[in-house]
Amino acid sequence: MFYRDKLSFEDEEFKLKVGFLHFSSCSGCQVAFFDMFEEAVEILDTVELVYSNMLTKRRDLPRMDVAFVEGALCIEDPHHLHLVKELQKKAKLIVAVGGCASFGGVRRLSCGNQLPQPQHQSFVPITEVDLVKPKVKYAIPGCPPNPSLLYSFLLALLEINEDFLLPFELMTFSTRASGMDIFVEVVNKGFCVGCGTCSTACPTRAITYNYECSRPAFNPGLCVYCGSCLAACPQSFKPYPQPTYT
Amino acid sequence: MVALNSRFLLGKYREAFVVDGKGENPIKAIFTLMLKFGLIDGLLTVSKDGNSPRLIFKAEDVEIPVRNSCFGVNALLKKAVQKYRLSRLAVFGPACTFDGLNKTQYFGIGCNWTKTAVALKISFLCPGVLTDTAFLSEVVDITGKRAGVSRFYFQKGKLHYQLKTGEEITVPPSFHHRYVNSACRYCLNLSGKGTDLTAVYLKERDKVLLIVRSERGLSTLAQVQRSSPSTLYFRKADRKEVESLISFLKEKVILNITDIIERVELGFPVPKWNDNKLRKFYRLWNSIDVNSEEEVF
Ligand code: SF4
Ligand code: SF4
Ligand code: SF4
Ligand code: SF4
């Protein structure tokens, strides 16, 4: 088992220790994560929040089963360098939450490389940092990811639903994502069915729908590199079970 | 094991009815009644010509696509669920619309809490979709004349178009296969598995063959019947009617499988994160390993 050495759901004491860590980010992902708990009453019994810069008081990082991480790592920030070392030591499994942590996100637009202004610094997503890479098992797209996605993800993690988790595992190998993926990965390869799901998934309207040619349209100037469009496209992956009807 | 049996082609279903709308398209009538009686709070589909998505709130505004052109339905999904907060939405489109929608519901990507927002999914049996210009070229190729397509239907296992000139033509699958959207050449779900109901357009404008897949589909039809008993007339489809559809699907799906196999053999790329499902299909398809020499001895 990846986050517990011994797993038994019959074990009534089972509590998954989760933490939410914050690198350079707008905290939108963390807000979405806590938003999810409104709906997640049934999993509250099995999850214990051991660390969050927003909700817990402790400053040191405790040991945890799963670290949810938002934001990109700032190369110039000593606090981030310390945090990533701690993360490697204290977390059994790491989940990159949102575009910034997974694919660089809006931090890709930074014109780096010096302190103090964020737009003047340089950032890397944690999926690119070798020290923690072996532990970054999943990347979740979105800016921020929908609370309903985070909820389904956490449920899948608790139930070890590998079909559900597989695409998020594949996403960790892809350190870049953008609206251009819709063209390079789907349209250019002859797979676009013109369904419009990518445009509904885009948080910034960088992908819209072009009714003239019945295909998506991409405005690179609006893209925040979150990966939602390709992740939502039915042609990128669909290992979900078709609904079974009785 | 993948086999071209009826279950693979048509999917699991409970009943098949021929529905008579007495002068009106029965699918349009179903949505109109559902909106009128508050069984749904919105309909997400495309315009009659299939070219632009529509989000419909009022019974008198209902329109549905009648030719095999249907693009961009899901482009309005977020608007429907997050902006207008619809919670009993009906969706009408081809199977791939529901691949996008089901994926959004299952994973939660794309649109928040879609899982609980959709009350009914109706697909149409889809021979592959075309844009306006592709329709024109296809018709020229078949008839030698330039004419637009106004509707499509199935009759005795064949695909037909009614042209804007009023003429009706039979569309041979091998011609059709060349003009459909590229992605439709790799599609194995023409019949809309993963929906509540699948509508098959028939020659008579006011009749459809309705494949009922889910309990929800069946109970919705019962509710519609109860709310307006004299609008729709149902009769159980006979075996021949269903078999003729299966024979169409078989012919088209074999063309699609041939293209999938060719694509894999040519080594054309697939989208990242896709886990190469076409190659998996190819392996499965070619997994029959017969050693004839061994059989001789
Ligand atoms: S992915 Fe978007 S919401 Fe999440 S931290 Fe980055 S900028 Fe904020
Ligand atoms: S186009 Fe939109 S959904 Fe796609 S990566 Fe850019 S911001 Fe995200
Ligand atoms: S989501 Fe639909 S419209 Fe967008 S690229 Fe994928 S298949 Fe095409
Ligand atoms: S043939 Fe398949 S991919 Fe093409 S429009 Fe129909 S359902 Fe969608």
Range of the domain at B36: 15-125+192-237
- Number of domains observed in the structure of chain B: 1
Question: Is A13 inside any structural domain?
Answer: yes
The residue among B96, B273, B276 with the most chain A CBs within 10 A of its CB, best to mutate, is B273
CA terminus-to-terminus distance, chain A: 33
Of A69, A188, A201, A15, nearest in space to B100 by CA? A201
- ipTM of this complex > 0.90? yes
Domain shared by A100 and A210, yes or no? no
The arithmetic mean of pLDDT across residues B23-37, rounded, is 97
Q: What is the pLDDT of residue B290?
A: 56
pTM of the model: 0.92
Question: Is B266 inside any structural domain?
Answer: no
Question: Is B78 inside any structural domain?
Answer: yes
* Cα gap B184→A192, rounded to integer Å: 9
Q: What is the pLDDT of residue A118?
A: 67
Contact list in B for residue A193 (CB cut-off 8 A) is 94, 96, 99, 129, 181, 183-184, 187
3-state secondary structure of A43: helix
Question: Is B41 inside any structural domain?
Answer: yes
Nearest CA to ligand 2 atom 1: A179
Q: What is the pLDDT of residue A228?
A: 97
Domain shared by A22 and A127, yes or no? yes
- Number of domains observed in the structure of chain A: 2
A114-130 pLDDT per residue, tens? 777 766 789 999 999 99
Contact list in B for residue A227 (CB cut-off 8 A) is none
Domain shared by A122 and A205, yes or no? no
| Residue A210, CA atoms < 13 Å, CB-side half-sphere | 11
Question: Is A195 inside any structural domain?
Answer: yes
Helix (H), strand (E), coil (C) string for B148-209: CEEEEEEECCEEEEEECCCCEEEECHHHHHHHCCHHHHHCCCCCCCCCCEEEEEECCCCEEE
B269 DSSP assignment: -
The arithmetic mean of pLDDT across residues A30-39, rounded, is 87
- Identity at A61, one-letter amino acid code: L
Q: What is the pLDDT of residue B2?
A: 47
Instruction: Give residue B297's pLDDT band: very low, low, confident or very high (50, 70, 90).
Output: low
State which of A171, A205, A240 marks the end of a domain. A171
Question: Is A129 inside any structural domain?
Answer: yes
Q: What is the pLDDT of residue A187?
A: 96
The residue among A197, A213, A228 with the most chain B CBs within 10 A of its CB, best to mutate, is A197
Question: Is B282 inside any structural domain?
Answer: no
State whether residue A197 sits within 8 Å of chain B by CB: yes
Q: What is the pLDDT of residue A111?
A: 84
3-state secondary structure of A98: helix
Question: Is B102 inside any structural domain?
Answer: yes
Range of the domain at A153: 3-171
A66-77 pLDDT per residue, tens? 999 999 999 999
Tell me if B268 and A190 make a contact (CB, 8 A cut-off): yes
CA of B218 to the centre of ligand 2 (A): 39
B100-134 pLDDT per residue, tens? 999 999 999 989 889 899 999 999 999 999 999 99
Domain shared by A101 and A30, yes or no? yes
Least confident residue range of A63-77, B55-69, B202-216, B264-278: B264-278
Q: Is the CB of A198 under 6 A from ligand 3?
A: yes
